[in-house]
Amino acid sequence: MEIFKVVGFAIISVILIVLLKEERKDIALVLMVVSGVIIMLFALSKITPIIDMLNTLINNSGISKDFLVIILKITGIAYIVEFGKNICIDAGQTAIATKLELAGKIIIVSLSLPLIASLVNVLTGLV
């Protein structure tokens, strides 16, 4: 089972990072980034069939695809921004982390503008 590989990998990388944190904090930081990247790559490779299934469902049932596309994009942005933010926090740079989060939020809102616009349209159609 691959989950064991992942957990083992994470444990090893944590040990190595703790080892190096004392001596060379920069290399430890790089180690953090790398291990995070590799684990995320693994997780993403497992997501692909799920997203394919969702796409097929939506296409077959004839609902407009735009919703799903926007929501997927927003989820992807959320993932990446979270990742970067956590690394910044772990490196001790919370200020940069906050700015990064701000940038992510603004991009998400700008992406979801059509959704919110259609919601407002529909709501005013109620009245």
93 binds another protein (CB under 8 A): no
How many residues form the binding site for another protein (CB under 8 A)?
Answer: 71
Q: Rounded to whole angstroms, what are the CA distances from 50 to 41, 53, 56, 73?
A: 15, 5, 10, 15
Least spacing, CB of residue 90 vs another protein, in Å:
14
6 binds another protein (CB under 8 A): yes
The answer to whether residue 14 forms part of the interface with another protein (CB under 8 A) is no
Q: Binding to another protein (CB under 8 A): which residues in 62-81?
A: 62-63, 67-81
Chosen residue from 11, 18, 40, 92 binding another protein by CB under 8 A: 40
Q: Taking the complex as a whole, how short is the minimal distance between the CB of residue 37 and another protein, in angstroms?
A: 5
Q: 93 vs 109, which CB is nearer to another protein? A: 109
d(CA 97, CA 43): 23
Output the smallest distance, CB 3 to another protein, in A.
11
Please name the helix (run of DSSP H) or strand (run of DSSP E) that holds residue 43, with its range, or none: helix 25-61
Question: In which region does residue 63 sit, left (phi positive, over 0), alpha (psi from -120 to 50) or beta (all else)?
Answer: beta
Give the shortest CB-41-to-another protein separation in angstroms: 6
**Contact yes or no for 22/37 (Cβ under 8 A):** no
